[in-house]
A and B are shown apart, each in its own frame.
Chain A
Amino acid sequence: MRYLPHTPEDISEMLQAVKAESLEDLFPTVPESVRRRQDLDLPEPLTEWELNTHMNELASQMSDARSIKSFLGAGSYDHYIPASVQYLLGRSELSTAYTPYQPEISQGTLQAMFEYQTLVSRLLGMEVSNASMYDGATALTEAMFMSLRIKRKKNVLAVSSLVHPHYREVLKSYLAPTSFELVEIEAGPDGRTDLSSLKGRDDLAAVAVQSPNFFGCLEDLKAVQAAAQDTGALFVTSFTEPLAYGLFKNPGSFGADIACGEGQSLGIAQSFGGPGLGIFCARKQAVRNMPGRLVGQTTDKEGRRGFVLTLSTREQHIRREKATSNICSNQGLCATTAAMYLASLGGSGLRELASLNRDKAEYLKSQLQAAGCSLPFGAPTFNEFVVRFPGGHAEAQEQLKDKGIIPGVDLGHYYPELEGHSLVCVTETKSKQDLDILAKEVSA
């Protein structure tokens, strides 16, 4: 599908049709006081050569995961992206990032979304996936609103304080103008959510945790499921690192009602923080309360396989103000990327890669411990964990700056009670030597 701008001829024809002399005539309702009459103060245009030089200068001021050794994770992960994904993404038929408004003429786009939905449902062990939301934060927020729709008479949402702080901020922004209440569930001493405060509550529409959580710990999803069930709430699992489910039991196998999170990890470049991919899965019985677009498989009048947007009556263009969400677009290109990535790795490749991540993280844990670091939490982790370097985070960060190493995220920034602690992430992109160097540098 092509997106062509209007030519001067198009514009003049359209103006004639509406009997206007100029484009200016279309905006008489915009008051003079808010109009800008002088030109924008922009620099002169650059030639292609000059522009390239300018962009290279800008780029050289920044660090990326290729040029430094970054142990940052916390929701954005540095994974190797196979050449097959990069090549396929560059193809023009696939790089149209938007679901077209006349979707059924774009069978290829719809099939790519259908494949994405199928792969993601399998990875998470869930019955239905939508064609994606904006990012992990909007996916969690949509999951909470979906829970409120299903549990009509309940108006309180419980979210673990170990869900990504940014996700909780987005959720709070959405909830601010509503009358719904949000309660945060405290962390326990082992680095997992302490569910004891949920006992006896009967006003919760949803209980949401993240696994692996912000401390990198795998939540006891079986216990969360039981706690949610006891309170009559839906069980929502968020995640920032779906690769973990290549190795560990997935949300579906623990009976999650909704599994939602960030899919950046699946072949999408970190790109300084975005765009991401909001993965959203649910149970089939709740499909009519799901947000977002949904691609289904059907047959045409000659019995051939084809793809359609389905259950659209949930969406704004049909249901107007009663739509299940005002996100009725999707992250088409990022979702396609995730599908390519999952297909490139395959089931056994994903498992192998997840094991590699877990094993490297465990190795670094043991090396850091030997180097005099303390690991405050006992719960099992995947490729990320909390550690306190002997001199604290700020000292380690300062000391390693010149060596091109970022030792992790300063956890005190998000959790003041963990002042001085670091959140360290290890993926397959770090070699044994990288891990040994980090342990040596921070040692007491």
Chain B
Amino acid sequence: MKELSELVLPEDRKYTSQHEWVMRQGETVTVGITDFAQDQLGDIVFVELPEAGGAFEAGEEFSTLESVKAVSEVYMPISGEIVEVNERLVDSPELINQDPYSQGWIVTIAPKDPAQVESLMDKAAYLEMLKGEA
């Protein structure tokens, strides 16, 4: 397991208490899981992806990650509709472990209310939360 000081937490993302990251890119928002989450899960062997076009409320489960030792749900950081899913994860789920912030993205979302993104945690707040949990 990584120490908190070893975690990679990019400044240009927002974070949730369920360990998802969010990044606005034009009209859509890209979602993945944090370095902390992938490190806790261990080697991810299977990703269950939602279908593009599905609509979810913030906090709803939309994907499932299975690692060699656990299964974890991924929750919607904000309300919206799934625009695109990362099909590469079907054959290469390990991308989430290797590169959680870039090649390991999970879905892009068309937000119902883009302002919801601003209510999420920034890097400092997320790190503070992790310190509280440790």
Contact residues of B between 52 and 78, Cβ < 8 Å to A: 66, 69-71, 73
Contact B46 A288, beta carbon cutoff 8 Å: yes
- Residue from A288, A313, A318, A322 whose CB has the most chain B CB atoms within 10 Å: A313
**Complex CA distance for A319 and B65, rounded to whole angstroms:** 12
Q: Is the interface of B mostly helix, strand, loop or mixed?
A: strand
Contact (Cβ within 8 A) A313 B48: no
Which residues of B in the span 68-127 have a Cβ within 8 Å of any Cβ on A? Answer: 69-71, 73
Complex-state Cα separation, A313 to B44, whole angstroms: 12
**In the complex, how many residues of chain B place their beta carbon closer than 8 angstroms to a beta carbon of chain A?**
7
A288 touches B70 (CB 8 A): no
Q: Among B66, B69, B70, B73, find the residue whose CB has the most chain A CB atoms closer than 10 A.
A: B66
Residues of B within 8 A of A318 (CB): 69-71
Q: Please measure, in the bound complex, the distance between the C-alpha atom of A406 and the C-alpha atom of B70, giving whole angstroms.
A: 54
Taking the closest CB of chain B, its distance from the CB of A434, in whole angstroms, is 55
> Once the chains are docked, how many angstroms separate the CA of A397 from the CA of B116?
73
- Mark A306-340 against chain B: 1 for CB-CB distance below 8 A, else 0: 00000001000011001000000000000000000
Q: Which residue of B lies closest to A320 (CB)?
A: B71
Chain A residues with CB under 8 A of B73: 322
Closest CB of chain A to B89's CB: distance in Å?
14
| In the complex, chain B residues whose CB is within 8 Å of the CB of A319 | 71
Q: How many residues of A contact B (CB 8 A)?
A: 5
Q: How far does the Cβ of B57 sit from chain A's closest Cβ, in whole Å?
A: 13
- Cα A26 to Cα B66 with chains together (Å): 39
- Measured between alpha carbons, how far is A288 from B93 in the docked complex, in Å? 15
Could you give, for residues 39-50 of chain B, a 1 whenever the CB lies within 8 Å of some chain A CB and a 0 otherwise?
000000010100
Cα-based distance from A313 to B66 in the complex (angstroms): 7
Tell me which residues across on chain B come within 8 A of A288, comparing CB atoms: 46, 48, 66
Residues of A within 8 A of B71 (CB): 313, 318-319, 322
Within 8 A of B (CB), among A265-307: 288
**Measured between alpha carbons, how far is A288 from B63 in the docked complex, in Å?**
13
Q: Closest Cβ of chain B: how far from A171's Cβ, in Å? A: 26
Closest to B48 in A: A288
Q: Which of chain A's residues have a CB closer than 8 A to the CB of B46? A: 288
- Minimum CB–CB distance from A296 to chain B (whole Å) comes to 13
A317 to chain B, nearest CB (A): 12
Name the CB-closest residue of B to A323: B71
CB neighbours of B66 from chain A (8 A): 288, 313
Give the residue among B66, B69, B71, B73 with the most A Cβ atoms within 10 A. Answer: B71
For the complex, what is the distance from the CA of A288 to the CA of B46, rounded to whole Å?
10
CB distance from B85 to the nearest CB of A (A): 16
- In the assembled complex, how far is the CB of residue A290 from the closest CB belonging to chain B, in whole angstroms? 13
A318–B70 Cα distance when bound, in Å, is: 6
Closest approach, in angstroms, between the C-beta of B82 and any C-beta of chain A? 13
A319 to B70 Cα, complex, angstroms: 7
Contacts of A313 in B (CB 8 A): 66, 70-71
| A325 to B: closest C-beta gap in Å | 14
Closest to B64 in A: A288
- Which residue of chain A has the shortest Cβ distance to B45 in the bound complex? A313
Roughly how many angstroms separate A322 CA and B46 CA in the complex, as a whole number? Answer: 16
| Min CB–CB distance B50 → chain A (angstroms) | 10
- Can you spell out 12 A-B residue pairs with CB atoms less than 8 angstroms apart? A288-B46, A288-B48, A288-B66, A313-B66, A313-B70, A313-B71, A318-B69, A318-B70, A318-B71, A319-B71, A322-B71, A322-B73
Nearest 9 pairs of A and B residues by beta carbon: A313-B71, A313-B66, A319-B71, A318-B71, A288-B48, A318-B70, A288-B46, A322-B71, A313-B70
Instruction: Give me the interface of B with A, judged by CB distance under 8 Å.
Output: 46, 48, 66, 69-71, 73
Task: List residues of A whose CB falls within 8 A of some B CB.
Answer: 288, 313, 318-319, 322
Extra pairs beyond A318-B70, A319-B71, A322-B73 (9, CB < 8 Å): A288-B46, A288-B48, A288-B66, A313-B66, A313-B70, A313-B71, A318-B69, A318-B71, A322-B71
